[in-house]
Structure 1
Amino acid sequence: MLQSKYSYHIFICIAIILGNVFSQDNSISGWVLDNETNKPIKDVSVYIQESNLITSTDLDGYFNLFVCPKCNISIDEQNDSKDIIIVFDLIGYEKKNIQFSDLKNRNQIRLKKQSIELKSIHIHDDNIYKSDLLLDTKKLEENIRSNLANTLSYQPNIGVISFGNVTSKPIIRGLSGDRFLLTKDGMQIGDLSQTAIDHVITLDVTEVSNIELIRGPRALFYGSNPVGGVLNTLIFGNPKTRVDKFYKKIKFGGESFNEGIFGNVVFFMPIKNNQLNIYINNRQTENQTSPIGTLVNTHSMTSNFKIGFTNYQKQGYINFVVESFNMDYGIPPSSEGHILGVDIVLKKNTLQINAHRDISFGDFNQLDIKYNFIDYEHSEFENNVDYFSVQLAKNTHHFKLEILSEMISIGTELEYRDFIPAGFYWTPNTDETNVSFYGYIKKNYKKYNVLGSFRIGHIIIDPKPNYTSYANLEVDEITKRNFSYIASSLGFERKIDKWTYKGWFMQTMRPPKIEELYSDGPHLGTYAYEIGEPNLDLEKIYGIESIISYQSNSFNVSLTNFLNYSPYYYQMTKMGECEEEMVLGDEGYPCSGPEYDFIEWGSGPGWLYMYDTKGVEALIAGFEFNLKYNLKNLIVNYDFSYVLGENISFDEPLSYINPAKHILNVGYDKNSMNYNLRLSKIHSQNRLGEFETYTPSAFLMDIILSYKNNRQSFTLQINNILDETYYNHLSKIKFIAPEPGRNLVLSYNLLF
């Protein structure tokens, strides 16, 4: 029975969720360790912000700092003071600021390495929340691939859904689309990548400095439906990086499986109280290859230019950014309608305004105001044709205002989108207005941290029908829709010696997208004729998650369980499938009679399968296990992840669920060199949704060599070194070609 099938996950989650004081003299002490190797770090500067009280760590990473920033108050009063910040700083590592009160019962401070360090000056805007950093600068360099999804594919429970390598996008715990949020410096990217498989993410991975994964109550600060979490990318050249002299950063490299090359340059130019940042990037790839041959029409050409100007003031800054992102890429051919493939031309222009101010207003100490204007256009061409068949465009105005502190934060968000389709695509022009108010609170209750958040909002979707009739929708169904939504989350965290316990409950709501409501026409890039459902209701998901972890100097282990239930889960699925080979014969196509209502004839050279949107009852559950061991220069890291999805309405598995995955990394650090062997075992997927096919298991071996110092880094990856022929279950073209074979990846960075 379904109930017993998931009883393990429910039991673990509920069981966990129900489930050294500083000395009183005027000093604090502890040890500073490397976050990856757990080795002590010497010569770390430890000081009180805005004071001349400073010490440094010894050979064992030990420090002892005399604390008297306000010598007219007692140490107990200092413990309660929220404005006392202890700073840990060393070139080659990320600077860490910790409030004095947070150092209670904490005698170990861990610093994260930076491959290339800009000498930054304090600019007030410190990140007041702690996140699970998925990839820091060093790990990004060691995993970097041609796009964000493939770079993240070596992480547990992250799969890659694709229509060829260029269009790859991450899928987290079986959740795709906007069931997890992808953001750029805290703002949603503003493209159409989460609406369809052929729409690329308008972000080049080489402009990313770190990727953080945000889950739990704080995720609602970014949107109403982050049940899978928030992948927030931190960008080189954002206003938080202020330099005291002229810096140039150059990066270039390439991959062998698609003859890809890339290069970019970033300039950081301080001008008195101002700073000018300029970013220029180009990337080119040819057709991708696999052990069985070349997949045609999978080339790409990307150019990205960005200029930012920041005026720094005593208590904050104001920042302006103008960016142009352009990309031409191909979709491989298929017998389903476009036998020569589809070419896509994408243009995106962005204007950003970011203002930050240090304030003193009750418990709040930061005020942030952000505005984005995005002009996006995506045109689809039949291969070698000079006029588009489908064009999808939108203009987006996005405004955010937030008042922040570590313990309580509130914000409001307003987003207006004007969706403008054109060509052989009959979805109506549509205006969408979304306004929301949200908050986050953290309270210390006895020995627990209690976390809570909410987001309430209202969205208006107002279509403007431009035809008197549609192929599959009735005109009177295409009406203005109003959706009010509320999302909330409640969680806790508790530390006992070396053990940490976390858990939370989250309830989210997602209004349907324009395409899910009103689509009616062929979508060339997906080889589908898409039909919306104008009467869709809000998608609701209820999630529960628990984490238990143990951390010592040499040994870390953690277990995460999650369970998500939705009584109304959107899916756009194929309406049927022809059992015969779709080849033109003397008597015409098979499946061409009136009884075959799941094929649209006359689209492209011949036909397209029809897809419609429906809501089903669904359940997704799984777990993630991590084990990490450090022995001198040796680091061993093992991850196992598993997710299972069930379509309860039809008593069958959910489609496109990533299979179970083992990842073993064995690394060795010596001086400035790192040597890493990565072994991946991807299980077969035989739990198949409607119209899915079986995918066999695969074993992959990668070798990564890297060198780094404070000014330059070099990385060499040899992926799939055994040249194994393997298939990605989440690939929409796995019946055409397997994944890449042996692949050489080179990357070089220089800061001067």
Structure 2
Amino acid sequence: MENVKYVLKAILLVGIVSLIFSNVCFANHAEGEATHHSPGGVLFGITVDSNTGEPLGWTQLLIAELNRSITAHDDGTFHFFSLPAGVYTLKTFRVGYQDLAFKVTVTADDTTEITLALTGAPVAGKAVTVEGDRDDLLSALTRADVEVSGKKLRQNLGRTIAETIDSEPGISQRTLGPAPARPVLRGMGGDRLLVLEDGERTGDLSATASDHAVVIEPLAAERIEVIRGPEALLYGSGSLGGVINVARGYVPATLAHHVNGAVSLQGESVNRGYSGGAFLNAPLGPLSLRMDGSYRDARDIATPLGDLPNTAIRTLNGSAGISLVRSWGYVGTSGSLYESDYGIPPDSVAGHPGGVRIDLNRRHLESRAELLPRSGWVRRLTLRHSFTRYRHSEIEYSERLGREIAGTGFDVLTHHLSAMMRFNQSGIFRNGALGVWGEFRDHSTPAGRNLTPRSNEYAGAVFGYQEANWQRFAVNGALRFDVKQVRPRENLGDVTQAGRVRERSFRGVSGAFSGIYQPWNGFYLGATALRSFRAPGIEELFSVGPHLAVYTYEVGNADLAPERGLGLEGFLEVRHQRGHVRVAAFRNDISNYIFPENTGKRSSRIYSLFEYRFSGKNALLSGIEGAFDWQLFQRWFAGGTFSYVRGELRDSREPLPRIPPLEGKLNLRYQAGQFSLGGGMNAAAAQNRIGRFESTTAGYVAFSLFGQYNFSAGGLFHTLSLNAGNLLDSEYRKHLNWVKHIMPEPGRNVRLLYKMFF
């Protein structure tokens, strides 16, 4: 397996380099073909500095209504081809400059020329999610609660998606070693927090257990956004915690005018790890091509007490997509692979004494079509289908046999099918949407290696979404109806420790409403109410058996009812030219909260394992969080976040397990043009409110330094990002780390990222 991965890595990297050079050679020919054979209007422009008038290359531009984006040439020029006639919002994103929006009018079969003057950004304010033509008030209501992109993404880029966004308010990470980290938002993880890639589910099993990794490589991410409230219901009914969407751009939506892309290299000291990746956009006549690839290799992670054994990781990731782009829209397809081999550290107290190695792979195919009607009330119609095959083996070393043996295994086939219409503005109503979504999952793990019976899962939903605003008020709302059916294909009628194995069906309605009021400019007051519905999964219903990597004996509950939650949130936000401040308080009341509960008893079948039974109990999670980023002086800025959540069983007042403590982060930075340098502090209080059989966790303070420099040279745009974490090599532990009793968090770590745009 190891040799195969190295061969694949070499082939992938050579292929990327060859493709870059071949497309550079034929770029002018392709550009000419695209220009002469593309029906519809053309938008040609140049981005310049508003003060000096100098061209600004590598600016990202997005036509919000059409969801089409491109990157400007190094001389600042750009082209959009095959545009239907109309008035559009053109948004710009460029490192060191403010994110701006311009109104442009495109005429049929003609070229529109425009000059965009960009203004230097005084402060790295909160980013805005781009999803249509919205005024400032609606943007304050509907933008992503958190967006990590550009400079911020490069500065915080970690080994996993969870580590990359760990510094954001309300977000923690559940870990069992460095590889299988998964985000936790406001104390909620698993299926209560959807992790999506390009707006669709990944087909992995990271939500079901702490040893299962998220199959998204952060090095390939273009943008990471956290979505809560009514917009979250566009993606799922059980997302009371919210939705984390990683934008990657598998299927190109825009006809590229020239070859462009980026190459990234990253190294870090704490695990002697390195990673590298590249992506490429290129025109092929009327077609647009996108390719990317990355490789990550790291050894055992170092802590102040020594190396944490069996935590090495190797991951290979790549994709290719192609689209036909016309004025009526586009149709495209893509394919991707993700392979990872990582370790779960040995745990003689509460885990596998020898550690477990996990070998997983995912194959993903996706097709997408987006149609742009030239008139009427439909702005955009999007059709999607994806197929994913996910395989996962947990491998242990047998001293008796003297070799590795495969233990628990998973083999899941997933189909997703969806259609969604976005509507044009009508009076006070904007950005309406109506859609349907379907899912089929085939759990077909080989007999003898599965925790659950072979089963099929069917799920479907219909949903609607709408925004409206008038004067100083804005509202948005969503309604969703879901059905789900679990059909075991074996052991039907058998009575196991989980109960009688049988077909289960669930249905439920979820909805959300959010409103915001702007009493004066830059000051916002808002509230959200959300009703969620989550049907139990096959693992929660029918699991019976040992789970090697987490060293538990899991017993499902075939009689589980669905979860139903009521979430309430109020927030206050201040936005000023010097920065922003946001504070939110929330309360999530969940009936039949499903979780694996440690019974404190040894399994009668395997005495060395504790028995965990899935149960549904009423729970309450409430808390407060906040964030700010403010310009103190001309070139000095301060930022920070804090979050606190309290979780308990509503009837007994017993604390819920795996709830993060009070956490806070502060940073101070100096910024001069394309150079920035700063320091930060991360702190957490002790967690003494613990669930049964949990242990307390002491508080800690850790310090960091970071810096970034951007420059243009040789017709290319370069960025260097430096991050030094745990500067004092402090020994501390995080409450959501499942192996905290073995080793503390990683020691001092110096991480350097170089990225070159062409």
TM bucket (normalised to shorter chain) is: 0.7 to 0.9
Q: How far, CA to CA, are the matches of 1:325 and 1:112 in structure 2?
A: 37
Q: How far, CA to CA, are the matches of 1:281 and 1:607 in structure 2?
A: 40
Q: How far, CA to CA, are the matches of 2:483 and 2:496 in structure 1?
A: 31
Q: How far, CA to CA, are the matches of 1:263 and 1:627 in structure 2?
A: 33
Q: How far, CA to CA, are the matches of 1:190 and 1:96 in structure 2?
A: 36
Residues 614-625 of structure 1 aligned to structure 2 (within 5 Å):
614-625=615-626
1:320–1:352 contact (8 Å) kept in structure 2: yes
Match of 1:396 among 414, 424, 430: 414
Q: Secondary structure at the match of 1:366?
A: strand
Q: How far apart are residue 94 of structure 1 and its match?
A: 8.1
Against the structure 1 CA distance between its residues 202 and 647, is the aligned structure 2 distance closer, same or farther, given a 3 Å change threshold? same
Match of 1:661 among 660, 663, 671: 663
Q: Secondary structure at the match of 1:745?
A: strand
Q: How far apart are residue 281 of structure 1 and its match?
A: 1.1
Amino acid at match of 2:477: G
For 1:429, the equivalent position in structure 2 comes to 454
Against the structure 1 CA distance between its residues 465 and 98, is the aligned structure 2 distance closer, same or farther, given a 3 Å change threshold? farther
For 2:677, the equivalent position in structure 1 comes to 675
Residues 583-662 of structure 1 aligned to structure 2 (within 5 Å):
598-600=601-603, 603=606, 607-630=608-631, 631-662=633-664
Against the structure 1 CA distance between its residues 408 and 426, is the aligned structure 2 distance closer, same or farther, given a 3 Å change threshold? closer
Against the structure 1 CA distance between its residues 290 and 643, is the aligned structure 2 distance closer, same or farther, given a 3 Å change threshold? same
For 1:141, the equivalent position in structure 2 comes to 154
Q: How far apart are residue 85 of structure 1 and its match?
A: 3.3
For 2:693, the equivalent position in structure 1 comes to 691
Q: How far, CA to CA, are the matches of 1:617 and 1:133 in structure 2?
A: 29
Instruction: Judge which range, 52-61 or 733-742, deviates more.
Output: 52-61
Q: Give per-residue Cα distances to partners, 1:302-351, cap 9 Å, x unaligned.
A: 11121111111122111211111111111111225632111111011000
Residues 182-221 of structure 1 aligned to structure 2 (within 5 Å):
182-221=195-234
Q: How far apart are residue 446 of structure 1 and its match?
A: 5.1
Q: Give per-residue Cα distances to partners, 1:531-562, cap 9 Å, x unaligned.
A: 00000001011001111111222242221111
1:745 matched to 2:751: yes
1:735 matched to 2:741: yes
Q: Give per-residue Cα distances to partners, 1:354-391, cap 9 Å, x unaligned.
A: 11111246432001111110011111111374441221
1:564–1:620 contact (8 Å) kept in structure 2: yes
1:675–1:704 contact (8 Å) kept in structure 2: yes
Amino acid at match of 2:392: H
Q: How far, CA to CA, are the matches of 1:521 and 1:726 in structure 2?
A: 34
Against the structure 1 CA distance between its residues 94 and 201, is the aligned structure 2 distance closer, same or farther, given a 3 Å change threshold? farther
Q: How far apart are residue 269 of structure 1 and its match?
A: 1.9
Q: How far apart are residue 683 of structure 1 and its match?
A: 1.1
Q: How far apart are residue 234 of structure 1 and its match?
A: 1.0
Q: How far apart are residue 499 of structure 1 and its match?
A: 0.7
Q: Secondary structure at the match of 1:194?
A: coil
For 1:120, the equivalent position in structure 2 comes to none
2:251–2:322 contact (8 Å) kept in structure 1: no
Against the structure 1 CA distance between its residues 270 and 181, is the aligned structure 2 distance closer, same or farther, given a 3 Å change threshold? same
Residues 149-548 of structure 1 aligned to structure 2 (within 5 Å):
149-235=162-248, 238-240=251-253, 242-335=255-348, 336=350, 338-360=352-374, 362-383=376-397, 385-405=403-423, 406-422=430-446, 423-445=448-470, 447-466=472-491, 472-474=497-499, 477-495=500-518, 496-548=520-572
Q: How far, CA to CA, are the matches of 2:665 and 2:133 in structure 1?
A: 31
1:425–1:523 contact (8 Å) kept in structure 2: no
Q: Secondary structure at the match of 1:138?
A: helix
Q: How far, CA to CA, are the matches of 1:91 and 1:290 in structure 2?
A: 38
Q: How far apart are residue 227 of structure 1 and its match?
A: 1.2
1:87–1:95 contact (8 Å) kept in structure 2: no
Against the structure 1 CA distance between its residues 469 and 313, is the aligned structure 2 distance closer, same or farther, given a 3 Å change threshold? same
Against the structure 1 CA distance between its residues 377 and 221, is the aligned structure 2 distance closer, same or farther, given a 3 Å change threshold? same
Q: How far apart are residue 454 of structure 1 and its match?
A: 0.7
Q: How far, CA to CA, are the matches of 2:377 and 2:168 in structure 1?
A: 37
Q: How far, CA to CA, are the matches of 1:372 and 1:626 in structure 2?
A: 37
Q: How far, CA to CA, are the matches of 2:308 and 2:627 in structure 1?
A: 36
Against the structure 1 CA distance between its residues 51 and 242, is the aligned structure 2 distance closer, same or farther, given a 3 Å change threshold? closer
2:492–2:501 contact (8 Å) kept in structure 1: no
For 2:112, the equivalent position in structure 1 comes to none
Q: Secondary structure at the match of 1:515?
A: helix
In the comparison of the two structures, how many residue pairs are matched? 645
2:351–2:551 contact (8 Å) kept in structure 1: yes
TM-score, normalisation: structure 2: 0.80
Q: How far apart are residue 648 of structure 1 and its match?
A: 1.7
Residues 36-55 of structure 1 aligned to structure 2 (within 5 Å):
none
Against the structure 1 CA distance between its residues 242 and 682, is the aligned structure 2 distance closer, same or farther, given a 3 Å change threshold? farther
Q: Give per-residue Cα distances to partners, 1:611-635, cap 9 Å, x unaligned.
A: 0001111111111122332132111
Q: How far, CA to CA, are the matches of 1:487 and 1:110 in structure 2?
A: 43
Match of 1:723 among 722, 729, 734: 729
Q: Give per-residue Cα distances to partners, 1:92-139, cap 9 Å, x unaligned.
A: 458754679xxxxxxxx9998999xxxxxxxx9969874334212110
Q: How far apart are residue 89 of structure 1 and its match?
A: 4.2
2:123–2:579 contact (8 Å) kept in structure 1: no
Amino acid at match of 1:632: Q
Q: Give per-residue Cα distances to partners, 1:680-717, cap 9 Å, x unaligned.
A: 11111111111111111111111011111361111111
Against the structure 1 CA distance between its residues 745 and 470, is the aligned structure 2 distance closer, same or farther, given a 3 Å change threshold? farther
For 1:707, the equivalent position in structure 2 comes to 709
Q: How far, CA to CA, are the matches of 2:334 and 2:223 in structure 1?
A: 20
For 2:67, the equivalent position in structure 1 comes to none
Amino acid at match of 2:602: I
Amino acid at match of 1:627: F
Against the structure 1 CA distance between its residues 467 and 389, is the aligned structure 2 distance closer, same or farther, given a 3 Å change threshold? farther
Q: Secondary structure at the match of 2:545?
A: strand
Q: How far apart are residue 236 of structure 1 and its match?
A: 5.2
Against the structure 1 CA distance between its residues 654 and 250, is the aligned structure 2 distance closer, same or farther, given a 3 Å change threshold? same
Q: Give per-residue Cα distances to partners, 1:235-266, cap 9 Å, x unaligned.
A: 15652454311224211112211111111122
Against the structure 1 CA distance between its residues 568 and 341, is the aligned structure 2 distance closer, same or farther, given a 3 Å change threshold? same
1:113–1:138 contact (8 Å) kept in structure 2: no
Q: Give per-residue Cα distances to partners, 1:148-204, cap 9 Å, x unaligned.
A: 111111112211111111111111110010111111111111110111101100011
Q: How far, CA to CA, are the matches of 1:675 and 1:368 in structure 2?
A: 43
Against the structure 1 CA distance between its residues 153 and 56, is the aligned structure 2 distance closer, same or farther, given a 3 Å change threshold? closer
- The share of aligned pairs that are identical, in percent, is 28
